[in-house]
Structure 1
Amino acid sequence: MSVRFTVVGVPGERRTELFSQAVRARGLPAPAVLPWRELLIGDPVLPAETTHVRVDSPGGDVETDALLRGAGDPTRVDGGALWYSRLTGALRRVAELTAGRARLLNDPEEIGVMFDKRRCHARLAAAGVPVPPALPEVTGYRELRERMADAGWNRVFVKPAHGSSASGVIALTARGDRITATTSAALGPAGLHNSLRVRTYTDPRDVAAVVDRMAPDGLHVERWFPKAGLGGRSLDLRVVVTAGRPTHAVVRTSRIPITNLHLGGARGDLPAVRARLGERGWQAALEVCVRAAACFPRSLAAGVDLMIGSDWQEFAVAEVNAFGDLLPGLDGLPGGGSEGLDTYAAQVEAVLCTT
């Protein structure tokens, strides 16, 4: 069977280009690109020769963002509910276009679940995957504080239900009238905007304004999970699970509670983390990631954000990312079957092995 890929993505976007390079490196024709904008406003056509379709991120393009969230500053935090509604509508069109014609490498319905933190958390919990406890849905700052008091929690992570890349995420500590909220969301006269500079709010009025601004789009609130650290930096793992196997992993470290690399986090020492866990602990960590990815069986690859407890024994899944494979230059895990391959090459090999 001749393999011909089409990528639903943004032409020229880095993820799409890296996947295309991996395909061409195997001597296959370069993938066609079906732009997200055609799914959103046009009459999309799937190339007739397509055998496999990869859905890639709609991020990285101002026009696509405006089609998903409406006109406005692309750095704004709000608009998540509209973005999600339009995203899932476009994903349904992908399913319709490919039905009976091509194999999907990632399932549209599963992508939709991964992009709804509440649904994703519920699916993981139902499968017995360790996740932090979560509060029932809260609709604003006052209700958040009431629910925290009822649960006896003084530290939580407040997350927009449909955000990504830590957009709008708040690491919140509240003890009586003293409050600390660390976030990349910058509060200004025009509302909330993403910033690469993480800031800390200590005025309850500011914290209330940030939470209340995000609340209409939906919130997901989890109890703070105390994370392990090395060298004075807290850490977690991004593990890419490909075709049911953990193939790639990177340590993300930070001096603040949010470890995302684009927000000042740094790649950590994976061998040191593996040594600290011990071989049994390391295998247990990977097994949790495999179980999390198995909750999305129709997705070839998923990026699992795994938190390691401060005791180096507990684990909890923070997120499962539909587009969590953007880890340029990262080699496959030793013994994982993808040595010498980056995340995209590993996926191409997995396709070829099952075609």
Structure 2
Amino acid sequence: MSPSPSSPAPGAGPRFAVVGNPENRRTTMFAEAVRAAGHPPPRVLAWRDVLRGRYAFAPGEWVRIDSPGENAEVDRLLRGTAEPTRVEGTALWHRRFTAAVREVTRAAHRAGATTSADPEEIAVLFDKRRCHARLAAAGVPVPPALAGPVDGWDALKRGLGQARIRRAFVKPAHGSSASGVVALSLAGPGRVKATTSVERTPDGRLYNSLRVRDYTAEGEVAALVDALVPDGIHVERWLPKAAQGGRAADLRVVVVAGRATHAVVRTSRHPMTNLHLGGARGDLDAVREAIRAAGGDFASVLEVAERAAACFPGTLCVGVDILPATGWRRFAVGEVNAFGDLLPRLTGLPGSGAENLDTYAAQVAAAPSAVRRTEREEHHHDTPA
């Protein structure tokens, strides 16, 4: 059980708290970063307790809103299923999770605490359709996407045909970690291939697996898509990616307090580069050289990531997925992740201000400024006109 909240001593800097799962690696690594920076250990408020209303905050506390993942009980509370590997249920998860974040944020602010993320921004970040629209409206380069809802396989085929898109990513609107993502290729009437980590059971249920597979029978692909659409899907053009060592490559750029601090190259033999699906870290220096050879500048890639993060100014840290086009000349934003900072053993980019810090230490270092900014805003609002 976490200790009871208490106010920090004057001039002592913020006390830290984490709304997360004690067994979640993100939560434990953040706690380690807090202690390494010389602060008292953070209070960890477990999501299973928070979702039942058992929590409290203290004035001056800085509260990290962390991922609710990696806990079967929490997943059951949010998705209403006892099967943590099920793909379905993400729309319910989104409604319950965002409602919880809103309530946690209200409670923290009433107590005089500061939170790491804006609840309305979290709601957008976990809706790929709204996130894509917000980025596009801000002029951030993104892949072209289908407009409007798609209610099944036939509607998806019509929409792709009208948009003249033969290769697309079909993504659950509220998914994460490539759960339910389908890389779809349409080569002609009846000729289809869907590459995904989803395993479909004979009775039609969908499960995540760690093995990427291909479905090539149109009936199977149709059933897969039809099972995804009730929770909502986002469909965007599949942009051919640049390669490194014969493997498709993209970049995860972590932006903390508006500044790109960390970057990692992810490579894969299949369309999804997520490291848990067999992707591997690539060579960032080789990427810099490839961009220079193409007449570009790596700083421009970081600038795209920072522009994407600027669409979510109330969220201290986001992970931005950058899609490099073939030839390393153009770059688009594939996704912006609210919890995209799990990059163990990675220290900051040169000139970022986080050269010797991992992603969590960089956030701990930025937290006092966030607390002071909140205190100034509250003082301004409380001052009579």
* TM more than 0.5: yes
- The one-letter code of the counterpart of 1:145 is K
Residue number in structure 2 paired with 1:32: 43
**Superposed CA RMSD:** 1.3
CA contact (8 A) 1:5 1:50 kept: no
Q: How many residues align?
A: 354
1:325 aligns with 2:341: yes
Q: Which residue of 2 aligns with 1:147?
A: 159
Please give the residue correspondences for 1:16-31 in structure 2 after superposition, counting only pairs within 5 Å.
Answer: 16-31=27-42
**How far off its partner does 1:230 sit?**
1.6
**Matched letter for residue 98 of structure 2:** T
What is the distance in 2 between the residues matched to 1:93 and 1:328? 31
Per-residue CA shift, 1:214-244, capped at 9, x if unaligned?
1100000001111100211010000000111
Counterpart residue number, 1:180: 193
Q: Tell me what 1:261 maps to.
A: 275
Amino acid at match of 2:252: R
Instruction: After superposing the two structures, state which structure 1 stretch, 276-285 or 303-312, moved more.
Output: 276-285
For 1:322, the aligned partner's letter is A
Q: Structure 2 stretches of 5 or more lacking a match?
A: 1-10, 373-385
Distance 1:181 1:277 in 2: 31
Question: Structure 2 CA distance, aligned partners of 1:50 and 1:353?
Answer: 12
CA distance in 2 between partners of 1:71 and 1:80 (Å):
11
Matches within 5 A, 1:204-219: 204-219=218-233
| Rounded Cα–Cα distance in structure 2 between residues aligned with 1:144 and 1:353 | 46
| Aligned residue identity for 1:288 | V
Q: Is the 8 A contact 1:4 1:49 kept in 2?
A: no
Match of 2:178, SS?
coil
State how far apart, in whole Å, the 2-side matches of 1:342 and 1:201 are: 39
* Cα shift at 1:199: 0.3
1:164 to 161, 176, 194: 176
Q: Quote how far apart the aligned CAs of 1:147 are.
A: 0.6
Give 1:70 shift.
Answer: 0.6
Give 1:135's match in structure 2, choosing from 146, 171, 182.
146
In 1: Cα distance, 2:34 partner to 2:129 partner: 35
- Confirm whether residue 314 of structure 1 aligns to residue 330 of structure 2: yes
User: SS of 1:99's equivalent?
Assistant: helix
Contact 1:135–1:222 (CA under 8 A) maintained in structure 2: yes
Deviation at 1:280, TM superposition (A): 4.0
Gapped regions of structure 1 (runs ≥ 5): none
Q: Residue type of the partner of 1:123? A: R
* Distance of 2:367 and 2:91 partners within structure 1: 34
Matching residue's letter, 2:16: F
Q: Is the Cα contact below 8 Å between 2:31 and 2:42 reproduced in 1?
A: yes
Deviation of residue 92 (structure 1)?
1.2
Q: Does 1:203 align with 2:217?
A: yes
Aligned equivalents of 2:299 and 2:201: distance in 1? 45
Paired with 2:59 and 2:26, the residues of 1 have a C-alpha distance of 22
SS at 2:342 equivalent: coil
Maintained 8 Å contact 1:32/1:47:
no
Equivalent residue letter for 1:12: E
CA-to-aligned-CA distance 1:162-210 (integer Å, 9 cap, x gap): 0000000000000212111100001112411000000000000110011
Query: When the two structures are superposed, what TM-score results if normalisation uses the length of structure 2?
Result: 0.90
Output the amino acid matched with 2:351. Answer: G
CA displacement, residues 250-300 of structure 1 (integer Å, 9 cap, x when unaligned): 000001111100001000001000111128431111100000000000111
